[in-house]
């Protein structure tokens, strides 16, 4: 089926590839049209690959001129995402019949490698190296397997396979000879300029595989590269990171059956081994982790019946005993904790009627009295707190109509004045704030179509300019940000 790079850092996050065409359309309209047709062919595959016009993304593909009105080949500078600008060279040949396959070069940029360099190549074809142009011999060398992965079985029809006489010294003789099966010569280069074999499609799908991904961010907040990709069981609805000393952990919980696990986070941001797993009752819909005097606590809440628990978290990352449990009213859909001057607070909100509470958290980790309650409008589906220079803020968002508010949080923990409000598009299902080096950011995601925006947050708590935009696959439901000694990461899961 194919061969791909084994380095996950070279996989474009969830298959989204920003690109720009740096060729003058007024001078070479045929070339630009061929590039756009190749891009559309990839986007029409429905294997998770999406090429989007670049805005400000740091990592992107640039289509540039190879020069020469009679040249008949293309070139890609890297197999997979290399970081920064990544060039695909296209000849300025106005002849639409040129054999240069731009989809092939895009395949390289995604991380696909020549089919005829698979480790099992010799079982399927024999190459007459005496008939290969000396400067092109490297294009026929078999992969050693240390930096690549063979996907499925050998695919004669792959658009990543050279034609039978590619780069032949004597163009009347085959480079690929002694086929073990009849009809192979007719399969090579049998596809049209913008076609893919079934093997090509299955291979490309590997770049977006799994329902759990981890991406590293740049120091300026933008998504950088892939770190981890896993295929785990479905149903995980809650994740929450926490730290104990130098170790980082990620808490996972399923609303449907109450299965809970805690995994250690590796220093490179990837998700490590399980350190705890328990079967709890079903129905937990909100979780928050807070720290008091160096001790971590886990807050849990059920929307359905208002059941609340607080558990201690042990020094080894396992979940300890329940230290608080209460039966509150049902309907609480958002829970977030924040701290002001060493005092911790719990913010609660109901989507259905807009009821809001702020509770003081006691020094022993139990939930204390209500210090603020308000009746707001209904429909708020996302809530996140953040701090800038000692001032706390509350971000709120409605999925139904895109209404956004930012409120200042007063020094006594009560919710203060509105400092920002906008009307955005509807459909945002995830909103997370995070900080890198003193700069705060807002991450937004739509489960329905995978659209992601990243914004800077200004020093006065207002939502600033967009610094990142991606079109990922739909279905992402659970997002967490965490940091290790090597940087800041975002983990995403599909329930």
The tens digit of pLDDT for each residue in 425-440 reads 999 999 999 999 999 9
Domain boundaries, the chain: 2-208, 212-493
The pLDDT of residue 190: 78
List of residues 6+ apart from 365 with CB closer than 8 A = 290, 292, 295, 297, 310, 312, 323, 324
The pLDDT of residue 384: 98
Q: Is 105 a catalytic residue?
A: yes
Ranges of residues in the chain with a pLDDT under 70 are 68-73, 94-100, 180, 182
107/305 Cα distance (integer angstroms)? 51
The pLDDT of residue 335: 98
Looking at CATH, the fold of the domain delimited by 2-208 is given as Collagenase (Catalytic Domain) (3.40.390)
In CATH terms, 212-493 corresponds, of 3.40.50.300, 1.20.1290.10, 2.120.10.10, 3.40.50.620, to 2.120.10.10
pTM (2 decimals)?
A: 0.95
The pLDDT of residue 69: 66
Q: Which of 11, 31, 13, 12 is nearest to 21 (CA)?
A: 31
One fold for both 2-208 and 212-493?
Answer: no
The pLDDT of residue 177: 83
Instruction: Answer whether 371's CB lies under 8 Å from 413's CB.
Output: yes
| pLDDT tens column, 325-369 | 999 999 999 999 999 999 999 999 999 999 999 999 999 999 999
Catalytic residue among 105, 115, 312, 351: 105
Burial class (CB in 10 A: 0-12, 13-18, 19+), 233: exposed
The pLDDT of residue 191: 78
Cβ neighbours around 53 below 10 Å, total? 12
């Amino acid at each position: 089926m194919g061969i791909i790079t084994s380095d996950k850092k070279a996989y474009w996050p969830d298959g989204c590839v920003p690109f720009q065409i740096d060729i003058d359309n007024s001078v070479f309209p045929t070339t630009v049209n061929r590039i756009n047709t190749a891009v559309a062919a990839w986007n029409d595959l429905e294997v998770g690959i999406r090429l989007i016009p670049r805005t400000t993304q740091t990592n992107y593909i640039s289509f540039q001129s190879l020069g020469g009105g009679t040249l008949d080949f293309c070139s890609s500078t890297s197999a997979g995402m290399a970081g920064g600008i990544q060039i695909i060279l296209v000849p300025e040949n106005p002849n639409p019949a040129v054999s240069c396959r731009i989809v092939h070069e895009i395949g390289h940029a995604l991380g696909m490698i020549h089919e005829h360099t698979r480790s099992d190549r010799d079982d399927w074809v024999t190459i007459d190296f005496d008939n290969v142009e000396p400067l092109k011999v490297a294009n026929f060398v078999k992969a050693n397997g240390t930096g690549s992965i063979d996907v499925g079985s050998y695919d004669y029809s792959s658009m990543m396979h050279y034609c039978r006489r590619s780069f032949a010294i004597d163009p009347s003789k085959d480079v690929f000879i002694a086929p073990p099966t009849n009809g192979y010569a007719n399969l090579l280069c049998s596809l049209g300029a913008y076609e893919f074999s079934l093997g090509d499609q299955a291979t490309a799908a590997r770049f977006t595989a799994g329902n759990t991904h981890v991406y590293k961010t740049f120091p300026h907040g933008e998504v950088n590269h892939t770190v981890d990709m896993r295929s785990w069981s479905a149903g995980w609805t809650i994740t929450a990171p926490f730290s104990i000393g130098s170790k980082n952990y990620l808490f996972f919980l399923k609303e449907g059956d109450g299965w809970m696990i805690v995994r250690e986070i590796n220093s490179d941001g990837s998700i490590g081994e399980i350190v705890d797993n328990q079967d709890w009752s079903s129905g937990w819909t909100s979780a928050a982790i807070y720290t008091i005097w160096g001790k971590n606590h886990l807050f849990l809440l059920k929307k359905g019946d208002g059941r609340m628990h607080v558990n201690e978290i042990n020094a080894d990352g396992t979940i300890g005993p329940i230290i608080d449990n209460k039966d509150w009213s049902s309907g609480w859909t958002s829970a977030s904790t924040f701290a002001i001057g060493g005092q911790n607070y719990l913010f609660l909100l109901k989507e259905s009627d807009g009821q809001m509470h702020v509770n003081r958290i006691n020094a022993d980790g139990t939930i204390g009295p209500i210090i603020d309650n308000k009746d707001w409008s209904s429909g708020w589906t996302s809530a996140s707190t953040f701090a800038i220079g000692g001032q706390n803020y509350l971000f709120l968002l409605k999925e139904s109509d895109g209404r956004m508010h930012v409120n200042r949080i007063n020094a006594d923990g009560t919710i203060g004045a509105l400092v920002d409000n906008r009307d955005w598009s509807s459909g945002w299902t995830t909103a997370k704030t995070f900080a890198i080096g003193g700069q705060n950011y807002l991450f937004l995601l739509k489960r329905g179509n995978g659209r992601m925006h990243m914004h800077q947050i200004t020093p006065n708590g207002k939502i600033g300019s967009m610094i990142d935009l991606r079109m990922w696959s739909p279905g992402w439901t659970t997002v967490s940000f965490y940091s290790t000694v090597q940087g800041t990461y975002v983990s995403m899961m599909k329930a």
